[in-house]
Structure 1
Amino acid sequence: MNLQQLIKLASEGQVQELEVLSLEGGIYIVRTHLLNGCHTLQDARGNTLHLRSTTHVRDLLRDLPADPPAPPCVLVQHVVHDEMCGARQDAIAPLRMPFSLASAW
């Protein structure tokens, strides 16, 4: 899914949630949840769009329509320390925090 498709689907109210995934190396990707599954935001060549900061994410998504209400957005970060230590035997859930597209403050 590219940015234009995301904006169109968001304006139609079809986007259920946006996830901003924080990856190792300071890279962020955006994943869109629709009724028919998840789609990763892609560049013009069809590659996963790598963003360099949460500010870059906000700048990119600033044209998402506010009406209908913007879909909820969460920042998702896996806890690398838990994965590295391997002390826990149960499933390790990622940290999910509400993320505002409107402002960094």
Structure 2
Amino acid sequence: MNLQTLTEHAVNSEIRELELLSLEGGFYLVRIRLDDGLFTLFDDRAKPMHLRSITQLRDLLQTVRAFPCVLVQQCAHDEMCGRDTGSVEEMRIPFSLT
């Protein structure tokens, strides 16, 4: 999905959630959840768009209608210390585009 398509979905109130996925190396990927799936935001070169902060995302989407957003991070403590049983859940922290 590119920025133009994201804007169209936002205008039509079709975006259920935007996930800002924190990755190792200090960058973020944007994933957009619609009723029919989860889509990565691509740049003009058709490559996944790499962002450096929530502020950069806010600047990028400043003219787009607001919708639910969440910062998604893996829990490093659980990964470093290990767990006896069960899967390691990601942290999901809601935030606003404003």
TM-score by length of 1: 0.87
Look up the match of 2:48: 48
State the superposition RMSD in angstroms. Answer: 1.1
Q: Does 1:85 align with 2:81?
A: yes
Gapped regions of structure 1 (runs ≥ 5): none
**Displacement after TM superposition at 1:45 (Å):** 1.3
Look up the SS of the partner of 2:64 in the other structure: coil
Look up the SS of the partner of 2:71 in the other structure: strand
Q: Does 1:26 align with 2:22?
A: no
1:28 and 1:52 in contact (8 A); partners too: yes
Q: Which amino acid in 2 is paired with 1:87?
A: R
Look up the SS of the partner of 2:46 in the other structure: coil
**Displacement after TM superposition at 1:84 (Å):** 2.8
Gapped regions of structure 2 (runs ≥ 5): none
Look up the SS of the partner of 1:42 in the other structure: coil
Look up the SS of the partner of 1:82 in the other structure: helix
Write the distance in 2 (CA, Å) between the matches of 1:77 and 1:63. 26
Percent of residue pairs bearing the same amino acid type: 52
Which consecutive segments of 4 or more residues in structure 1 shift more than 4 A? none
Look up the match of 1:71: 67
The number of residue pairs the alignment matches comes to 98
Write the distance in 2 (CA, Å) between the matches of 1:88 and 1:24. 24
Write the distance in 2 (CA, Å) between the matches of 1:51 and 1:88. 34
TM-score by length of 2: 0.93
Report which of the two has the higher share of strand: 2
Look up the SS of the partner of 1:10 in the other structure: helix
Show the 5 A alignment for 1:10-21. Answer: 10-21=10-21
